[in-house]
Amino acid sequence: MIRKFAAVPGFGSLAALIFFVTIVAGAAAVAQQSPAQPAPAQTPTQQQPAAQPAGNSQASDQEPAPEESTSRKPKPRDYKKWTFNVDGGASLTNGTTRTFVRSGGGIGGGGVAHNTNKYFGFRLDFQFDNLPLRATALQQAQSLSATSHMYALMLDPIINIPATKVWSGYVLFGPSWLHRSGKLDSSTATPGTGCNGFFVWWGRCYAGSLPLNGRFLTESQNEFGYNLGGGIARKIRPNVEIYAEFRYLHGKQNGITTDVRPITLGVRW
């Protein structure tokens, strides 16, 4: 039968057209059934994090170090900036003074020190010394009794020497100002006569003679000099020490000298 239709004029062209239409229709149906799917978008959780430098990742794993303080705590002082002292004792005499003054005169004094550090400071002391005249001096003065004393003001650098927590030592030296005064109760010496050794040291001799006005019963003179000495101290409380001290004290004015060696015991706080 097919052969009979093939013999019909135009049948081949019609068959070809039908075949082409069938192919196109089939392709369109396939296209509608399976449309092209777009690539799924990546969610934020699926996105790969950007690569970080190795140094930053290590730093992020470690806890941040606390900031160091730029200011240091002040170190507490192991010394007192200001100290005060009182003392008392007796003095030994020396030089020309020993000729007219006996040893053992009483002493009293006090002072204050400003310490710049544990080992060094400056100390100011005021001291009163009794200077009892010897019997031979009274004989030269032709007097039965007399009084004589001295005031001293001393400013010294002081060097402290800590030995243990309890014991320490110190040395000091510096300039001194002395004021020596006294009074003879009476005297049978004649004004205008020559001065002996006592009246020269007493400071009331003028041009080698006793003053005509009779003003030789009293003395008053200022002398400048130096002092040096040292001591040992023992702590009895956290801020209190007892000490023993020895000094050599020298003053001079117009050829007249005063020399004593005070020995004192005191308290320092």
> Which residues have a Cβ under 8 Å from the Cβ of 91 and sit 6 or more positions away?
103, 104, 105, 107, 129, 260, 261, 262, 263
Number of H helices, E strands in the chain: 6, 8
Helix (H) or strand (E) holding 177: strand 167-184
Residue 106: its pLDDT value, please?
98
Strand residues in 116-166 grouped as ranges (E): 120-130, 146-162
Tokens of 25: 């229709």
Output the pLDDT for position 77: 74
Q: Give 84-98 as a 3 state SS string.
A: EEEEEEEEEECHHHH
In whole angstroms, give the CA distance from residue 181 to residue 171: 29
| Tokens found for residue 190 | 């004649």
**The predicted structure's pLDDT at residue 17:** 43
String of DSSP letters for 179-227: EEEEEES---PPTTSBP-HHHHHHT--BTTB--TT-TTSEEEEEEEEEE
pLDDT of residue 211: 94
The phi and psi torsions of 163 (rounded to 5 degrees) equal -105, -50
177-227 pLDDT, tens per residue? 999 999 999 999 999 999 999 999 999 999 999 999 889 999 999 999 999
Q: Which residue has the tokens 């001295």?
A: 150
- Residue ranges of the chain whose pLDDT lies below 70: 1-71, 74, 76
Quick one: tokens of 73?
A: 């705590």
Assign domain 82-182+218-268 to its CATH architecture. Beta Barrel (2.40)
Contact by Cβ (8 Å): 148, 180: yes
Measured CA angle at 153 (ends 149, 159), to 5 deg: 130
